[in-house]
Amino acid sequence: MLDKKHIKFFQNLLGEDNAYFDQAHLMAYSYDATRKRHLPDGVLFPGDESDVSKILKYCNENKLAIVPRGAGSGFTGGALAHEGGLVLAFEKHMNKILEIDMQNMVAVVQPGCINMDLQRVVEEQGLFYPPDPASQDYSTIGGNVSENAGGMRAAKYGITKDYVMALRAVLPNGEVIRAGKRTIKDVAGYNIAGILIASEGTLAVITEITLKLIAKPKFTKTAMGIFPSVQTAMNAVYKSMAAGVTPVAMEFLDALCINAVEEKFSKGLPKEAGALLITDVDGDIEAGLEQDLATIERVFKENGAGEFKIAKDASERNDIWFARRNCSQAINIYGTLKLNEDITVPRSRLPELLKRIAEVSVKYGVKVPCFGHTGDGNVHTNVMVADKNDPSQVKNGHQAIEEIFKITVELGGTLSGEHGIGISKAEFMPLAFSDAEMALFREIKRAFDPNNILNPGKMGL
């Protein structure tokens, strides 16, 4: 429970409508996409950067924990006050697009701006903001930056970090800093923007984000290949790209996913298939897209694809993408508890990764449907526990996850391609990082946040 004098301070600063301490509001800000629940001690809605500065200064002096929060759509608990503290929520006031600068092809937004709102506004002007996490309809740019969100288009267009040109942020001591510039080149001073990205709200509170925009590609085409096995599909992924094609996306579904989608939605997918690859290519010259699709078709067929289909129109595009988009939901038929991870390996290691995940699945008696962004080596690995009320099944599931993490690291991969570490993966950090690396992380945390008030206990620090 928060001391009354603290409550009074925040209510005076923000007004009672922007500083809540009642049970109903605390409940409403106690969850995220992990479905874990942790009641915060209060919920604050800053109106502007100056509010953020005053809040942080006060919290720093009084050693009160702060948990910055966008939409609460994260998968690893980054926005959860799992050790108590005050949620700093940006959705209410600091959610605006401040500027679209057409001349320099740059957007300036507040952290609570919703990703899709930005995409829509810039596309109306012929520009393009590529990062498209699956949560794009509700997740915020501040959250995207803090977790370094990826998405479907990363294979060609990269991820959030590739679009952040500059940030404004508030340090725990209340000082406002600027990092980066509205320029492609800027090498003066340390790359503070670079380290704030993906720092999960543990170093500073981001108050303004300047993003690079690009020209919107004129044409997009979609194709699908059906493969006899996961192995053949994984070979086709990296060989297509090594053949010189850079698809926007090259997405994958394994046999379990295909069957789940078919069982739930009856879309006429081939239930006997071993794997499905869905790919988008884009560009300004139609001949270029055709050339890319021809290369992909050749490589797919050389690697065993029995069928290759190019969507003729928007309706066929939607049909092809339906399976991928509804996959995550469909695989719930395999269990009542889903342990979903977003491991990533170098593309050429995908065949081995998938082979070894299949072995883990057998060993622990759990189904592990896999799908995801194979064009960038990112596989959504879902350990499905048939009965979440059976402790031995749950234990097996967790052991399977741990083994999959070990395999991933062994193959030169990372624990997280998109979702971050938060609290969910904190215990696995020592699998991926040495003592020296963890010690360095702690030193950096201390350099920004000596009193450890920002998202304490996250990232295994």
Q: Is 446 in the site for a copy of itself (CB under 8 A)?
A: yes
Quote the Cα angle for 66-73-57, to 5°: 15
Measure the CA–CA gap between 155 and 176, rounded to whole angstroms: 35
Measure the CA–CA gap between 177 and 56, rounded to whole angstroms: 13
Quick check: 455 and 435 in contact, CB under 8 A? no
Give residues 75-104 in contact with a copy of itself (rule: CB under 8 A). 101-104
Name which position in 15, 126, 270, 430 contacts a copy of itself (CB under 8 A): 126
Closest CA to 140 of 89, 77, 70, 76: 70
Q: Is 266 in the site for a copy of itself (CB under 8 A)?
A: no
Q: Is 229 in the site for a copy of itself (CB under 8 A)?
A: no
Q: Is 208 in the site for a copy of itself (CB under 8 A)?
A: no
Q: Is 195 in the site for a copy of itself (CB under 8 A)?
A: yes
Q: Is 444 in the site for a copy of itself (CB under 8 A)?
A: yes
Quick check: 146 and 206 in contact, CB under 8 A? yes
Q: Is 159 in the site for a copy of itself (CB under 8 A)?
A: yes
Closest separation in Å from C-beta 19 to a copy of itself? 26
What pairs with residue 341 in β-bridges?
381
Measure the CA–CA gap between 163 and 148, rounded to whole angstroms: 10
Q: Is 459 in the site for a copy of itself (CB under 8 A)?
A: yes
Quick check: 282 and 289 in contact, CB under 8 A? yes
Q: Is 70 in the site for a copy of itself (CB under 8 A)?
A: no
Q: Is 12 in the site for a copy of itself (CB under 8 A)?
A: no
Closest separation in Å from C-beta 98 to a copy of itself? 14
Quick check: 170 and 176 in contact, CB under 8 A? yes
Q: Tell me which stretch binds a copy of itself (CB under 8 A): 60-68, 151-159, 252-260, 298-306.
A: 151-159
Binding mask 267-286 for a copy of itself (x = CB under 8 A): ----------------xxx-
Name which position in 94, 171, 258, 366 contacts a copy of itself (CB under 8 A): 171
Q: For residues 356 and 373, which CB has a smaller minimum distance to a copy of itself in the complex?
A: 373
What pairs with residue 307 in β-bridges?
226
Q: Is 186 in the site for a copy of itself (CB under 8 A)?
A: yes
Torsion, Cα 421 427 432 433, to 10 degrees, reads 100
Q: For residues 91 and 200, which CB has a smaller minimum distance to a copy of itself in the complex?
A: 200
Residue 37 DSSP symbol: B
Residue 157 C-beta-side C-alpha neighbours within 13 Å: 26
Q: For residues 24 and 188, which CB has a smaller minimum distance to a copy of itself in the complex?
A: 188
Give residues 416-435 in contact with a copy of itself (rule: CB under 8 A). 416-421, 425, 429, 432-434
Q: Is 293 in the site for a copy of itself (CB under 8 A)?
A: no
Give residues 243-262 in contact with a copy of itself (rule: CB under 8 A). 244-246
Q: For residues 244 and 268, which CB has a smaller minimum distance to a copy of itself in the complex?
A: 244
Q: Is 400 in the site for a copy of itself (CB under 8 A)?
A: no
Other Cβ atoms closer than 10 A to 3: 11
Closest CA to 200 of 118, 114, 77, 108: 77
Q: Is 458 in the site for a copy of itself (CB under 8 A)?
A: no
Q: For residues 111 and 150, which CB has a smaller minimum distance to a copy of itself in the complex?
A: 150
Measure the CA–CA gap between 414 and 432, rounded to whole angstroms: 7
Q: For residues 203 and 223, which CB has a smaller minimum distance to a copy of itself in the complex?
A: 203
Measure the CA–CA gap between 279 and 201, rounded to whole angstroms: 34
Q: 287: which 2 tokens?
A: 């001949």
Closest separation in Å from C-beta 417 to a copy of itself? 4
Those residues whose C-beta lies under 8 Å from the C-beta of residue 313, and which sit 6 or more positions away, are: none
